[in-house]
């Protein structure tokens, strides 16, 4: 029987570009929150959260800080979700 070793594999590099709104939606869903529940926690209306998630409204610094606190993440996770340090000169 052939023995497969860890060195036989090459680590896959996956980079998907997402918007701040998509990051907000993903984090909200991962934490099991509805838009209405997040609205209650943050004081930002459900309709504004919907507009942010679908890209018709921009997140901005202040909202990012509010959502980051509610979702227990660093604001940069929301403001720069597709940042890739490997491509910085």
pLDDT digits (tens, 9 = 90+) for 4-18: 777 777 776 666 789
Whether 8 is in a domain gets the answer no
How high is the pLDDT of residue 82?
A: 79
Whether 14 is in a domain gets the answer no
- 27-61 burial, b for 16+ CB within 10 Å, e for fewer? bbeeeebebeebbeebebeeeebeebbeeeeebee
Comparing 87 with 56, the larger pLDDT belongs to: 56
Q: How far is CA 51 from CA 44, 54, 89, in A?
A: 11, 5, 34
* Domain, as residue range, for 54: 20-83
Number of domains in the chain: 1
In 3-state terms, what secondary structure has residue 14? coil
Whether 15 is in a domain gets the answer no
Mean pLDDT over 58-71 rounds to: 96
Band of residue 30 on the pLDDT scale cut at 50, 70, 90 = very high
Spatial separation of the C-alpha atoms in residues 74 and 78, rounded to whole Å: 8
Whether 33 is in a domain gets the answer yes
State the CATH number of the domain containing residue 61: 1.10.260.40
pLDDT digits (tens, 9 = 90+) for 41-63: 999 999 999 999 999 999 999 99
Comparing 33 with 88, the larger pLDDT belongs to: 33
Mean pLDDT for all residues in the chain: 89
Whether 10 is in a domain gets the answer no
């Amino acid at each position: 029987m052939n023995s497969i070793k860890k060195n036989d594999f090459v680590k896959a590099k996956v980079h998907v570009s997402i918007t701040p709104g998509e990051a907000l939606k993903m984090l909200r869903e991962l934490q099991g929150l509805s838009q209405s529940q997040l609205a209650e926690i943050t004081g930002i209306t459900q309709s504004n959260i919907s507009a942010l998630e679908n890209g018709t409204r921009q997140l901005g610094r202040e909202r990012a800080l509010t959502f980051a606190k509610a979702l227990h993440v660093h604001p940069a996770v929301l403001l720069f979700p597709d940042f890739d340090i490997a491509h910085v000169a």
